[in-house]
Amino acid sequence: MKKMIILSCVMATWLLTAVGCSSDEPVQPLPEQSDVARTMPEYDMSLPDGVEAVDLGLSVKWATCNFGANHPLEYGGHFAWGDPTGKLWSGIGIVNDNGYGWNSDEYGGNPPMTKEISGTNLDVVAQHWGNGWRMPTMQQAAELCNYCTWTLKQQDGHKFYHVTGPNGNSIDLPLCGTYGDSGDLNHPYRFSSGPFAQEAVGYYWTSTIASQSVDRSNIGYKVKPDVYLAWAFILNSNRGDITHEGKFLPELRCVHMTIRPVHHK
């Protein structure tokens, strides 16, 4: 496999640079999960009847739709990393001179219980779809980015990438945006604000934890050195064809992104 090119990309405007505050200011928790859930969308996480596993000529097959969707161009759900219930919207966070932190007991723990959750009990796809379906690893997502042809298209007012594999088969990935930090320290749902950047950017989780040594300088906000991030791949509509561009970004695991499941061959 050719060396994967990992590029830092400029974050969308919804991710604002962290604003400093006194380090001795008390941490104010978000509302309990049950209170937050009433304000956020709920998704059907059952396996759709029409979903197919498409062989693109890569190491795994890719689903024809996102997790929580019923057809290829539907957004589907937005999920936190390492939440097997698919319903967790809560988070305790503060921005200070040392950067971001949040409730480390959730989203796989901090440090995480495992650095790879594909197919495990922390994998929301494996828990709800089963039957060999799971989240893609970073390596599998890198194959998709590096070995396929990516063409930006538009249909019925929706932008999406038409992704053609080495064998000529293809899938479509919509630009679903994300739920994430509002940038407002006083926002009651700051870790579940959005959706941001829909029809402009697609944010897709992988199942792989980022190394603590990964360069965090271009993420767009400060992150405490002891906080573990996870890899996502970013589909920016301003880039057009992204063939051979592994546009991966380490992100806070409480940010809610879409997931495109994979299946073993």
pLDDT per position as a tens digit, 144-161: 998 999 889 988 888 899
Mean pLDDT of the chain: 77
Residue position matching structure tokens 């407002």: 184
Higher pLDDT, 248 or 218: 248
Residue position matching structure tokens 């008390």: 26
pLDDT score of 247 = 79
What is the phi/psi pair of residue 192, to 5°?
-135, 35
Higher pLDDT, 96 or 121: 121
197-216 average pLDDT score: 86
pLDDT band, residue 24 (cuts 50/70/90): very low
Distance (Å, whole) CA 164 – CA 150: 7
Predicted TM-score of the model (pTM): 0.81
- What are the structure tokens assigned to 122, written together? 């922390």
Residue 202 above 70 pLDDT? Answer: yes
Higher pLDDT, 134 or 185: 134
Preceding amide of 250 cis, omega within 30: no
Residues whose CB falls within 8 Å of the CB of residue 163, separated by 6 or more in sequence, listed in order: 56, 144, 148, 149, 150, 151, 170, 171, 172, 173
Share of the chain above pLDDT 90, in %: 41
pLDDT band, residue 264 (cuts 50/70/90): very high
pLDDT band, residue 99 (cuts 50/70/90): low
Residue 148 covered by a domain: yes
- Amino acid at the residue 92: I
Residue 22 covered by a domain: no
Residue 250 above 60 pLDDT? Answer: yes
Distance (Å, whole) CA 249 – CA 232: 5
Higher pLDDT, 223 or 182: 223
Distance (Å, whole) CA 109 – CA 81: 11
pLDDT score of 5 = 32
pLDDT score of 188 = 55
Sheet holding 158-164, edge to edge: 149-155, 158-164, 170-174
Q: Are 220 and 10 in contact (CB under 8 A)?
A: yes
Residue 3 covered by a domain: no
pLDDT score of 112 = 86
Residues whose CB falls within 8 Å of the CB of residue 178, separated by 6 or more in sequence, listed in order: 14, 78, 194, 195, 196, 197, 201, 203, 255, 256, 257, 258
Residue 43 covered by a domain: no
pLDDT score of 260 = 98
Lowest mean pLDDT among 8-12, 218-222, 236-240, 250-254: 8-12
pLDDT score of 101 = 59
User: Taking the alpha carbons of 252, 258, 260, 261 in that order, is the dihedral positive or negative?
Assistant: positive
Q: Are 161 and 78 in contact (CB under 8 A)?
A: no
**Residue ranges making up the domain that contains 163:** 50-83+98-257
Higher pLDDT, 225 or 84: 84
Torsion of CA 170, 175, 180, 185, to 10 degrees: 160
Residue 236 covered by a domain: yes
pLDDT score of 42 = 79
Residue 29 covered by a domain: no
Residue 39 covered by a domain: no
Higher pLDDT, 7 or 260: 260
Residue 193 above 80 pLDDT? Answer: no
Q: How many domains does the chain have?
A: 1
Residues whose CB falls within 8 Å of the CB of residue 213, separated by 6 or more in sequence, listed in order: none
Distance (Å, whole) CA 134 – CA 104: 23
